[in-house]
Structure 1
Amino acid sequence: MQMYGKEFFTQVPDNFFSIFSRNLKEIYVDLIFLIYQEYNKRIYTLSRDHVVDLFSEYLEGLGEQAWQVEEGEAAGETAKSAREQALQYLRRLVDTGWLNLEPEPDYTFRISIPDYTIVMLEAMNKIRTGYRVEFKGRILSIYQNLSGSEGFSYVALQQAYESTQELIDGLKSLNHSIKNYTEKLLEAKDVRAILSQIFDVYQTKILGEQYYRLKTSEHISKYRVGILKRTREWRSNRNELVRQAGIMVREKRVPDAATAENLIYEWIEYIDASLGQEMDRLLSEIDRRNARYARSAADRLRFKLHQGRGAGRHIYTVLAYLGQLAKESGEKTLAPGEITRSIALFPQVAVDNQSLRKPPVARQTHKPQPLQAASVSDEVRQKQLLQFGSRVAEEITVGQLNNYVDSILGERDICPIEQVPLNSRSQWVKLIYIILFSQSPVASYRLEGERSETIAIRDGAIEVPNLVIKRKGSKR
């Protein structure tokens, strides 16, 4: 078993996450995002004095009540001013590995950000802002990288691989996020909050126009054939693949040619698998979970709209009104006629004509009536018989198909499907019947191979199943 934790903490300090376990974790997050904003603005490292000024200005805006003693620090260690507190926070971030302190020849210090901190800050920023992968143009980008003039370049193939990876990761993240939004929907307290959760949050961040474009105008089916055709050309063009592997070695992307070839095959396999059935299954799963979210939203909204307005609430209002009448006019006073016509306010021991419950009625016996046969003229009858006869003549029986397969096999026992004659419409129809009748117990042949795989014929213009026709038993 691979030890991922050991590999991770060889790159990251052991106490890197300790700032999140302290009682001032929100302040630490704000401070490191201040550093991140400065990092995005500048091309040079940051002056320590500038960072301390940023921290001091932030702390002064919070007020002194925020400068509380951290867990594990004595009361005497509490800073007396915002600047002293800023220095303590900066020292803590340096000690935990979030920042590096670099001395300069003039005895000043600069602040730099390690590479792992930049990766962590980018991830935290995406979480904070609710970042979602842009699906617009992803499929088109993959297609253009593979089918362009530089399509037989490892750089174009790698870009197509990375775009495919980002697309699949984005769809997986979308699929896994639906549950969180469903839970937030169930926590909504009123109708306004439910509608805001549906239209402002879920519709915008989860199933916005980007995802619907991926299902409509930029659907994978528009580009799938071209993309998969190009990956097959990569596989079949061994010379070009070896040449691209050699370029990768010369450019020092990989140590040797074998590693380069394996990496290229890995990219091709990933694109093939991701844009094939996996993409269809993933989109179907997202649609299924989205439908469940829609049902939950409708049920929640219906419940909130009808809460306090159902029949129970109406009956409660009527009884409260009757109670008020009884208090004012006496309990023996007759109830108003409008109420007695709707609610029976008397003891009921037997079913009567005014009861809401009606006695069961005997089921009536069905009496079928004879149908009048319509007369058909001889001309219409003859025409229908001719049409039926032509359909029967075109049908292919298992016996006819066995004879056809025997003629194809000849003296052989096996024949790949790509070698079956496909020069006319009838031969294509017979190929379809060969596949359909292969499971029949009276068929004299069977099909072997992976049914999900295909093979290109006629210079890649047509794809047929990568199967082999094999004779059952010996030749008759």
Structure 2
Amino acid sequence: MNSLGSSLFSEVTGKFFGVLTGPNAPIYLDALDAIEREMPSRGEAMDWAEAMDIVGEVLARSGALEAESDDPDAGAETDPPSAQVLRRLVAAGWIEEEKRSDYRRTLFLEPAAQTLLEALRAIVSQNIASFTGKLRLVCDRLAALSYPPSREDLPWEELKNCLALVRAGLRELRTIRKQVERYAQRQLKTASIAEALDIIYGEFSALITQQCYRELIHARLPERLREALAGLFALEQDETALLRLQADFLRTEPETDRALPAIRRTIEELSVLLGDVEPTADRVDTSTADFARRSRSRIRYIQDVGSARRQQVKVIFDFVRERLADVRLPDLGDRLDLPAPRLTDPGLVGVASLARSRRASETAARRPVDLPLSEQEREASLLEMEKNVRNALRLDRANRFIDRLGLKPGQPIGSDQLPVHTEDDILDVLSCLVFAPANGSNYRLRTLRQQHPDQPVTMDPKGDFLIERFEVERK
């Protein structure tokens, strides 16, 4: 049986891992990640020009390439940086360039590169706390092995898959513990309460939503783990089931002498790993409790230090206020046994630099202008007033005013009964007077002088104005 090292380097070359060790390793990985994510939308293949564009975008974000003296595969320095990156990845075996007769350069991502990229993404991924789902599936399947029919239907690939799921669940548990310990170390370096609380509630609580032990109890995993171990023990004692597993093993790996030992080794490893689930979860809870204890101690320390400093400052100001009330601030150095102030020119801040609330000016009575006006100025004023009045008086305004009165068709109302209180109401009445002859008006207007020309004119006071009495009727 070949060792891992010899088997691995028979599949890839040393340059394959050299990509991850140079000064440009982050750029190479970002380029590979971007290319791999774009591959499915292009039929798992990509033209050289398309790959150049993607690498160019990565370089625009990451910066220029650093010189690598031991990189003969990157191409000439006069080549574009994107071309240098692609040539290095092709030479290292991460990307395969297909040779075509039509001179088109088509790129494929090597399977080994895809496998390693998935592993690297898993390292930096923050999506944890799904270990109970994997372990629950394994426990349910292995617990069923206590019954002979389930042992007879167990294939070798499913047994190997159970081992892989248990390993993944334990790996996630250990990753949680490592991240909790990392948070604990960061907590010791915080300088303010806000920073310490942000680590607890902003980052830590988003990662650890529940204690691992509580998650185990909620899923009834302690009982399921014992049932799974009992099922494995029953499988190990069932020779008929082991022979079926051996026959299934030989379908994929025709090595008779190592079939049964591999099956027994897998069963034994499953038993050991399942037995390690609860202790590992307890270690995670211990790390979580340690993080909580350190966080509490750090916050208390920051509070104590801050409170002590505030108290010291308060003592100094109380002393100054009680005994040195008539001493200027620049002269305090002679009276107090304190270090020299670091202010270059100590003094009180003037009110000129302080923000002041805006105050509205008081309303005053309008006074006429005493300056004499020329005829041109009077004419301009009258034209401006005429323009303003023309803009303020409109037919739609008059119609809306009549609608607000709530009159029925044919119902009249006198001007003395009109609700006029504000300047807007006066403009409504003026609009009615101006646009009464218009075809689009919804009212008729008559004055008393038209109906009774021999009688004196009656005026109605409306606001600050006197209006000749008239009557409005809804059409």
Name the TM-score class by shorter chain. Answer: 0.5 to 0.7
Deviation at 1:20, TM superposition (A): 4.5
Note if 1:120 corresponds to 2:122: no
Residue 27 of structure 2 corresponds to which residue in structure 1?
27
Deviation at 1:125, TM superposition (A): 1.7
The alignment-based identity, stated in percent, is 20
Residue 272 of structure 1 corresponds to which residue in structure 2?
271
Whole-Å separation in 2 of the counterparts to 1:5 and 1:264: 24
Deviation at 1:285, TM superposition (A): 1.7
Residue 178 of structure 1 corresponds to which residue in structure 2?
180
Whole-Å separation in 1 of the counterparts to 2:214 and 2:38: 36
Of residues 83, 88, 103 in structure 2, which corresponds to 1:87?
83
Deviation at 1:142, TM superposition (A): 1.0
Stretch of structure 1 that moved more, 29-38 or 4-13: 4-13
Of residues 195, 211, 224 in structure 1, which corresponds to 2:197?
195
Determine if contact 1:145/1:156 at 8 Å carries over to the other structure. no
Deviation at 1:241, TM superposition (A): 0.9
Give the match's secondary structure for 2:232: helix
Residue 132 of structure 1 corresponds to which residue in structure 2?
128
Q: Assess, with a 3 A threshold, how the Cα gap between structure 1 residues 91 and 287 changes in structure 2: closer, same or farther.
A: same
Whole-Å separation in 1 of the counterparts to 2:284 and 2:111: 35
Whole-Å separation in 1 of the counterparts to 2:256 and 2:83: 52
Amino acid at match of 2:217: T
Q: Specify every segment of 5 or more residues in structure 1 that has no aligned partner in the other structure, as ranges.
A: 331-476
Whole-Å separation in 2 of the counterparts to 1:94 and 1:292: 48
Residue 107 of structure 1 corresponds to which residue in structure 2?
103
Residue 291 of structure 1 corresponds to which residue in structure 2?
289
Determine if contact 2:192/2:302 at 8 Å carries over to the other structure. yes
Q: Assess, with a 3 A threshold, how the Cα gap between structure 1 residues 218 and 137 changes in structure 2: closer, same or farther.
A: same
Determine if contact 1:248/1:260 at 8 Å carries over to the other structure. yes
Whole-Å separation in 1 of the counterparts to 2:173 and 2:65: 43
RMSD after superposition: 3.1
Residue 166 of structure 1 corresponds to which residue in structure 2?
168
Kindly report which structure 2 residues correspond to 1:297-336, keeping only aligned pairs within 5 A, or say none: 297-310=295-308, 313-323=310-320, 325-328=322-325
TM-score (norm: length of structure 2): 0.59
Amino acid at match of 1:202: F
Deviation at 1:32, TM superposition (A): 1.5
Per-residue CA distance 1:416-439 (angstroms, 9 max, x = gap): xxxxxxxxxxxxxxxxxxxxxxxx
Higher RCO structure (Cα 8 Å, ≥6 apart):
2
Whole-Å separation in 2 of the counterparts to 1:215 and 1:195: 28
Deviation at 1:167, TM superposition (A): 1.6
Whole-Å separation in 2 of the counterparts to 1:103 and 1:88: 19
Deviation at 1:37, TM superposition (A): 0.9
TM-score (norm: length of structure 1): 0.59
Determine if contact 2:98/2:106 at 8 Å carries over to the other structure. yes
Amino acid at match of 1:109: R
Determine if contact 2:139/2:227 at 8 Å carries over to the other structure. yes
Give the match's secondary structure for 1:290: helix
Q: Assess, with a 3 A threshold, how the Cα gap between structure 1 residues 260 and 58 changes in structure 2: closer, same or farther.
A: same
Deviation at 1:68, TM superposition (A): 5.4
Amino acid at match of 2:216: K
Whole-Å separation in 2 of the counterparts to 1:132 and 1:321: 55
Aligned length: 317
Whole-Å separation in 2 of the counterparts to 1:29 and 1:97: 13
Deviation at 1:16, TM superposition (A): 3.1
Give the match's secondary structure for 1:132: coil
Q: Assess, with a 3 A threshold, how the Cα gap between structure 1 residues 95 and 283 changes in structure 2: closer, same or farther.
A: same
Structure number with bigger Rg: 2
Residue 448 of structure 1 corresponds to which residue in structure 2?
none
Residue 232 of structure 2 corresponds to which residue in structure 1?
231
Determine if contact 1:182/1:293 at 8 Å carries over to the other structure. yes
Determine if contact 2:140/2:224 at 8 Å carries over to the other structure. no
Q: Assess, with a 3 A threshold, how the Cα gap between structure 1 residues 184 and 40 changes in structure 2: closer, same or farther.
A: farther
Per-residue CA distance 1:428-460 (angstroms, 9 max, x = gap): xxxxxxxxxxxxxxxxxxxxxxxxxxxxxxxxx
Deviation at 1:299, TM superposition (A): 1.3
Determine if contact 1:220/1:275 at 8 Å carries over to the other structure. no
Q: Assess, with a 3 A threshold, how the Cα gap between structure 1 residues 24 and 229 changes in structure 2: closer, same or farther.
A: closer
Amino acid at match of 1:282: T
Amino acid at match of 2:236: R
Give the match's secondary structure for 2:13: coil
Give the match's secondary structure for 2:98: strand
Give the match's secondary structure for 1:111: strand
Whole-Å separation in 1 of the counterparts to 2:293 and 2:34: 42
